[in-house]
Chain A
């Protein structure tokens, strides 16, 4: 009987291995057919076939001859949409003179900017909705006794972070970013504080316009930029709440979030996106296109992930996470359905994050948004595939939470290169990120013994850095001309330009050397002055009642496994 059971177990084991091998072969089959296109340079746009007609200049007289729909036509309704929107809808400067050529040209120009405004605002709204995804993921991965506290931290990064960014963060980051052609110029944002750096070149350090969006920065284009950049900053601040969850004092969290939104994030954001010294590496020293971070693997995710690491080091692991001999104990979250729904919300929001970073849909090169969206989709899906495959092979089960983290890892990694790589590159970057996040989670938990309840340091820190580096490897030279003031397209090592990798590595060193240090020092100071961590009793009972004054699930009896303690809430 025992022999039969043992044989059955062996057969099951062999069958499982066969499934895994089959899945791996299938994955290879997915990549290999695409390989011939990898490494090839994109063909230049071919000229249209046939002789082209000589252009005929349009005059104001021609415009007078254009007839729009009449009132009689419109009163009947327009179910087919053929006559709504015509020459009559063009805004004229002088009604007496009628439509002129200058009215037409101005309308075309304003329409381009209007399309870009709408695009940037709507994608910004999508990114804002990602807060709901982060809240769901982090709360689901924490224990039920801390649900209210974790959810409230995710909720209030919006309030605290926005306040800090409105007061000074936006000005520091974007105060010297003009001109931004896609949004009408943003000319008032024209003051960057710079020092003389290596070789006598100007090094931008921080912007100086846009505090409180007052004065000349009270401007329609600047408000679009503010909204879009604000929700990005908010994403970075919400990463930290996951790593420090279940033991972070709410007051300390508020102070730390304010500092991140006011100083740390905007500084690095300025160096990368606001015309600062990292973005100038190309124009100043001929190092590729300078530091290229299309949508923020470094600016948003690595800044958030490294700050999460700094806070986790200062605050220490949760009680019960490690035994006395330093062995990590599992502390499973309370709601995996919440986690995976949150991951899907985040994947949806990422279509705002990456394609929205063109800051426009109309104009030179902005139709790249389709490639960026597809790259985002591919990398996220391949990330979850890779992590599930890894967990299946390593532990025998396709772990759900790591599947979710793999999806996010792929999305984080493709954020910087999304504009510069082709779909095959995106697939490789996403797949590698899915594997990397599993290895990183194990390393941080077991080797470093840093407690990160949701895997935020690995997902955003490790894979954020990988995303930054991958630009220097996989950028295929088909897009990015004019990026950071360098005329050539962004091209990585595998497509013949090793210089870009240098700029990306300098960006990574800056993240690990300066951003991490700044975050660590500030949070260490806060810890010394007011204390970052709740008391042991509060932690064991759960942070909901002592910190927030209300339980997340008041009608349930919550039991903490292994600690023999429970919170019982009597019904009134």
Chain B
């Protein structure tokens, strides 16, 4: 949603920054949040 909201911004540089930010947040969500949740119950820890 953050990346998509960049279509409302006039400046191209700002659009790139907002789109990049949206993409980065998605990746961080997968790598740092969701993956950490799965690692907490990982099979090799049991």
Using a CB–CB cutoff of 8 Å, the interface residues on chain A facing chain B are 198-199, 281, 284-285, 287, 309, 313-314, 316-317, 319, 321-324, 326, 448-450, 498-499, 501-502, 505-506, 508-510, 512-513, 516, 520
Contacts and interface: CB of A to CB of B under 8 A. Distances in A.
Given A506-B4, A512-B23, A313 B35 contact: yes
A317 B7 contact: no
A506 B42 contact: no
B6 to A, nearest CB: 6
A321 B8 CA distance: 47
Contact of A509 (B13, B19, B43): B19
B4 A448 contact: no
B46 to A, nearest CB: 9
Given A322-B42, A505-B16, A313 B34 contact: yes
A513 B38 contact: no
A319 B35 CA distance: 18
Given A317-B44, A498-B16, A506-B4, 4 more contacts: A287-B7, A501-B19, A502-B6, A512-B26
Interface residues on B, range: 20 to 34
Contacts of A506: 3-4, 6-7, 19, 22
A281 B3 CA distance: 12
Contacts of B38: 313-314, 316
Interface in B4-46: 4-8, 12-13, 15-16, 19-20, 22-23, 26-27, 30-31, 34-35, 38-39, 42-45
B12 A498 contact: yes
B39 A449 contact: yes
A512 B27 contact: yes
B44 A513 contact: no
Nearest to B12: A498
A324 B16 contact: no
Contacts of A499: 12, 15
A287 B31 CA distance: 29
Contacts of B4: 198, 506, 509-510
Contact of B16 (A284, A502, A509): A502
9 contacts: A287-B7, A309-B30, A322-B44, A324-B44, A449-B42, A499-B12, A499-B15, A502-B12, A513-B3
Contact of B15 (A198, A287, A313, A513): A287
A219 to B, nearest CB: 34
A448 B38 CA distance: 10
A512 B6 CA distance: 16
Contacts of A316: 38, 42-43
Contacts of A498: 12-13, 16
Contacts, number: 85
Contacts of A309: 30
The 3 closest A-B pairs by CB, nearest first: A509-B3, A512-B26, A505-B19
A320 to B, nearest CB: 8
Interface of B: 1-8, 12-13, 15-16, 19-20, 22-23, 26-27, 30-31, 34-35, 38-39, 42-45
A516 B12 contact: no
A327 to B, nearest CB: 9
Contact of A520 (B12, B34, B42, B45): B34
A513 B7 contact: no
A512 B20 CA distance: 12
A127 B2 CA distance: 36
A502 B19 contact: yes
A285 B39 contact: no
A314 B34 CA distance: 10
A518 B2 CA distance: 18
A323 B41 CA distance: 14
Which of B8, B16, B44, B45 has the most CB atoms of chain A within a 10 A radius of its CB? B44
Given A322-B42, A449-B42, A516-B26, A198 B19 contact: no
Contact of A512 (B13, B30, B39, B45): B30
Nearest to A536: B43
A309 B31 CA distance: 10
A441 to B, nearest CB: 15
Which of B7, B16, B31 has the most CB atoms of chain A within a 10 A radius of its CB? B7
Nearest to B7: A285
B44 A198 contact: no
A317 B43 contact: yes
Contacts of A198: 4-5, 7-8
A506 B17 CA distance: 11
Nearest to A501: B16
Contact of A505 (B8, B20, B45): B20
Given A316-B42, A449-B42, A520-B34, A513 B16 contact: no
B1 A513 contact: yes
B12 to A, nearest CB: 5
Contacts of B22: 505-506, 509, 513
Contacts of B8: 198-199
